[in-house]
Structure 1
Amino acid sequence: MKRRELIQSAVALSVMGAFGGLSPALAQDAGAFRKVRREVPRSTPGKIDVVEFFWYGCIHCYNFEPKVNAWHKKLPSDVVFTKIPIAYQSQRVNFQGHQRLYYTLETMGKLDMAHSKVFEAMHKDKKQLANDEQIFDFAESIGLKREEFANVFKSFGVNAKCAQAKTIFEAYGADGVPTLGIDGKFFTSASIAGSEDNAIRVAEALIRRQRQA
């Protein structure tokens, strides 16, 4: 989903193979992935970074979630997989709050319990999570202590994680979500590769390429 579509989608909420056997070079000729704007250093020396850029309010991210989760659990031990919530600048959409929500859950060790519940709240229950208080209400509704959650939400540690996410997303130069970033050098998505399955197969080809680099 492109940036403009993301914002349009969020405003609407508030109102109511083929590459598996191909070499990376051939995949690039087919337009199945892009090179990053600026290379991103590896987070862990000797490991291959794979990131998924997403936004909780994106219906495509919600639909992609089961598939990408099943995939990343089977990645080899030399691959480090990280989810990165994006936050565009917008006066109409609470991108920053949704990003902080993710990193607050991560900091509190509650992602396994709560990550899918955020998606369901926004897309099944049509909760807007349009401001901090609505986010705190949601956190309390799933059994988290409101004051503790709010303190972490506003903490320096969460600020730092959001700033790092912004730096990485801008370096990749992707213009929509969900997007898979490979080792700070390439990215692909269903819109680029043609389908979710193709995006995953292209990502696997790029992982193999980076392993041999």
Structure 2
Amino acid sequence: MRLLRTAVLGACLSLSILALASPSAPQNGVDYVTLAQPQPVQAAGKKVEVIEFFMYHCPVCNALEPGLEVWVRQQGDRIVLRRVHFPFTGPADPEARLYLTLEALGKLDQMHAKVFKAVHVDRVRLNTDAAIIDWASKNGIDRAAFLSAWNSFGVTMKLRQLSKIVADYKIDSAPTLVIDGRYVTSPSIVNKDLKTSDRNTLFNATLEVASKLVDQAAKAK
């Protein structure tokens, strides 16, 4: 009987955690906010655009990344993911410039996870232009090609536009997800109501909210 009670209690706790992580109907103003001025999307047809605002040095962004990658694969071809690096230090933010440079070189698939590892596992301080350029050249990217992209007009213009993009989407922290140019959610938003100290539960709940918002946006197309 004691074993049965323990098993039942364990099952109830598991179901409780699952319920917390899987809201049936996310509430506007609680689990997400709706932008008063929706922003243009780049996704074509029936696909739903999802933007992740992130920072390489952000520990929560780093912790969310593996689960986000799995979630993106689960969504299949019904979404298009864009990433925007939050310009933490302003319009010349070195990490944001690194992301845009890797994008310009077509190296994001190869290098994105490596940057997170360098910062959070290897403890490399990629907070200056010189440190980033040196790191990139030591990690298989031709120095001349990297510098050419780093100093290019395209990267420079995109870097300058980041502050306006952040302002247009009303983003004040990372990580933050924007669905269909209008619905904004994040671990910090979700946890105002969820109030959990368990990071995995919080991340699962946030991504479940994102899934429901993708459903909602897809139905409206």
Aligned-partner SS, 1:38: coil
Please, what TM-score do these two structures have when normalized by structure 2? 0.79
Which amino acid is the alignment partner of residue 77 of structure 2? S
Cα distance in 2, alignment partners of residues 68 and 84 from structure 1 = 15
Q: Give 1:201's aligned residue.
A: 208
| 1:141-163, Cα deviation, whole Å (9 max, x unpaired) | 10111121011011111123334
Q: Give 1:99's aligned residue.
A: 96
Cα distance in 1, alignment partners of residues 89 and 102 from structure 2 = 22
Supply the RMSD in Å over aligned alpha carbons: 1.9
Q: Is the 8 A contact 1:88 1:95 kept in 2?
A: no
| Superposition map of 1:54-65 within 5 A | 54-65=54-65
Q: Give 1:8's aligned residue.
A: none
Q: Give 2:197's aligned residue.
A: none
Q: Which structure 1 segments of 5+ residues have no match?
A: 1-16
Which amino acid is the alignment partner of residue 35 of structure 1? T
Cα distance in 1, alignment partners of residues 166 and 22 from structure 2 = 26
Q: Which structure 2 segments of 5+ residues have no match?
A: 1-18, 192-201
| 1:168-212, Cα deviation, whole Å (9 max, x unpaired) | 322211211111111110111111112111110111111111111
Q: Give 1:168's aligned residue.
A: 165
Match of residue 186, structure 1, among 178, 183, 193: 183
Cα distance in 2, alignment partners of residues 34 and 163 from structure 1 = 26
Q: Give 2:105's aligned residue.
A: 108
Q: CA deviation at 1:76?
A: 3.5
Aligned-partner SS, 1:77: helix
Deviates more, 1:50-59 or 1:151-160: 151-160
Q: CA deviation at 1:18?
A: 2.8
Q: Identical aligned pairs, as a percentage? A: 33
Q: CA deviation at 1:82?
A: 1.1
Cα distance in 2, alignment partners of residues 76 and 167 from structure 1 = 30
Q: Is the 8 A contact 1:87 1:166 kept in 2?
A: yes
Q: Is the 8 A contact 1:39 1:184 kept in 2?
A: yes
Moved over 6 A (4+): none
Q: CA deviation at 1:21?
A: 4.7
Q: Is the 8 A contact 2:53 2:174 kept in 1?
A: yes
Q: CA deviation at 1:133?
A: 1.1
Aligned-partner SS, 1:64: helix
Q: Give 1:43's aligned residue.
A: 42
Q: Is the 8 A contact 2:87 2:96 kept in 1?
A: yes
Q: Is the 8 A contact 1:172 1:186 kept in 2?
A: no
Match of residue 20, structure 2, among 18, 21, 26: 18
Cα distance in 2, alignment partners of residues 210 and 131 from structure 1 = 39
Match of residue 177, structure 1, among 137, 153, 174: 174
Residue 21 to residue 199, structure 1, CA distance change in 2 (3 Å) = closer
